[in-house]
Amino acid sequence: MYLRRLRAVQLRNLINVDLELSPQCNLICGQNGSGKTSLLEAIYLLARAKSFRTNRLSRLAHFSEKAFSVNGEIEHDHGVHKLKARYEARELKLMDGEEIIKRSSDLATLLPLTLVSTDSHKLFTDGPKQRRKFIDWGVFHVKPPFLDAWRAYCRALGQRNALLRHERIDTVSSWNHELERMAVEIDAWRSDYIAALIAHFLPMLRSLVDLPDLSIEYKRGWPSDIALSDHLLVNQNRDLRLGYTRDGPHTADLAIKVSGVPVQECASRGQQKLIISALYLAQAALFSEQLDKTCLVLVDDLPAELDAERRSYLLSLLSSLKAQVFITAIDGRDIDLNAFSQHKVFHVKQGVFSLGS
């Protein structure tokens, strides 16, 4: 699976960009503000129905414009999908050919994508929610029943929280077993996924940086020695005081430490970038292994904070994925593309792209 063609119209400074893409590696070079990251943002929008730079899609429109669009042709084993995303009148409309796409989860299946950006260090610093999203992206793809189970859990959680807020003590406990029923499945899928991910992650990390004391621990969101329904019953008075359910899969986390210290407190920015890159590339590798297909990999500003040796190691890992890769850099000379048998180099200046060598 790969994105063979992309067109972006009126998205930031991409007025009318139409590119034929390499199925392996696409390098986008240009100065800051030229449109490199905007191209990645266009691809991300097509895959996730949102931006990785802003929560307000209206900000993606070029200056005084109020609409923008992104079209992509995706080559699959079973044919070509023509995806369309158009933002107009404060609404994003998604199409697969002539068929309306109503759920972003359907879009994610058509164009699976992982991203390493300049903000990816927030995986360490922005709290458990970001790390749960990281875990659940992978579980969603390898365990199709996960999404329905998670939605059902969230509905039951909402019901229990409403009862807690209204101090309906007599009926709060009636939701405990319903929550546990789904929590057991969710926890098992997450736990299995993390174990498989670590098996890919650690060898990748060792090829990038020497951190022998790095550890990853999955925390399921409630104590391991007690069933969730029993734990909720024991802590019911606490939850009544709080007005919400404090523990459960919705508070799960991933603890990443070096010698027992959270990685964001002891690793340099360069080391953090390599750890994050290894995590996301391990996700891509596991995706390919378990689904027998590849996902797109986007890496924004790859050279930043990395010396030539580390850049070379990272590029070798990227090529080993056999996935379609998009890389941005200010200076193309910082990126050695010899690891890729096929590649295209695009130079961009003020939103205008030209094919280089």
Q: Quick count: other Cβ atoms within 10 Å of Cβ 333?
A: 9
Task: Please tell me what DSSP assigns to residue 28.
Answer: E
Per-residue pLDDT in tens (0 to 9) along the chain, 357 residues:
999 999 999 999 999 999 999 999 999 999 999 999 999 999 999 999 999 999 999 999 998 889 999 999 999 888 899 999 999 999 999 999 999 999 889 989 999 999 999 999 999 999 899 999 999 999 999 999 999 999 999 999 999 999 999 988 889 999 999 999 999 999 999 999 999 999 999 999 999 999 989 999 999 999 999 999 999 999 999 999 999 999 999 999 999 999 999 999 999 999 999 999 999 999 999 999 999 999 999 999 999 999 999 999 999 999 999 999 999 999 999 999 999 999 999 999 999 999 987
Encode 147-183: b = buried (16+ Cβ within 10 Å), e = exposed.
bebbebbeebbebbbebbeeeeeeebeebbebbbebb
- Give the H or E element holding residue 40: helix 36-48
Q: What is the pLDDT of residue 184?
A: 97
Instruction: State residue 193's pLDDT score.
Output: 98
Name the DSSP letter for residue 101.
P
Starting at the edge strand found earlier in the chain, the sheet holding 25-29 runs 113-116, 296-299, 325-329, 25-29, 343-349, 352-355
Spell out where 189-252 has E strands: 214-219
DSSP string, 244-271: S---SGGG-EEEEEETTEEHHHHS-HHH
Residue-level pLDDT at 79: 87
At residue 198, the pLDDT reads 97
> In this structure, are residues 348 and 35 in contact, taking their beta carbons and an 8 Å threshold?
yes
The pTM of the full predicted model, rounded to 2 decimals, is: 0.95
Give the pLDDT of residue 30.
96
CA–CA separation, 154 and 131 (whole Å): 18
The domain spans of the chain are 1-112+295-357, 121-293
Phi, psi at residue 12, to the nearest 5°?
Answer: 50, -125
- What is the CA 151 to chain-centroid distance, rounded? 19
CATH of 121-293, one of 1.20.1050.90, 3.40.50.970, 1.20.210.10, 3.40.50.300: 1.20.1050.90
**Alpha carbon of 149 to those of 130, 140, 143, 254, 287: distances in Å?**
20, 10, 10, 20, 20
Q: Which residues pair with 91 in a beta bridge?
A: 88
- End-to-end CA, the chain: 25
DSSP SS3 for 30:
coil
- CATH code, 1-112+295-357: 3.40.50.300
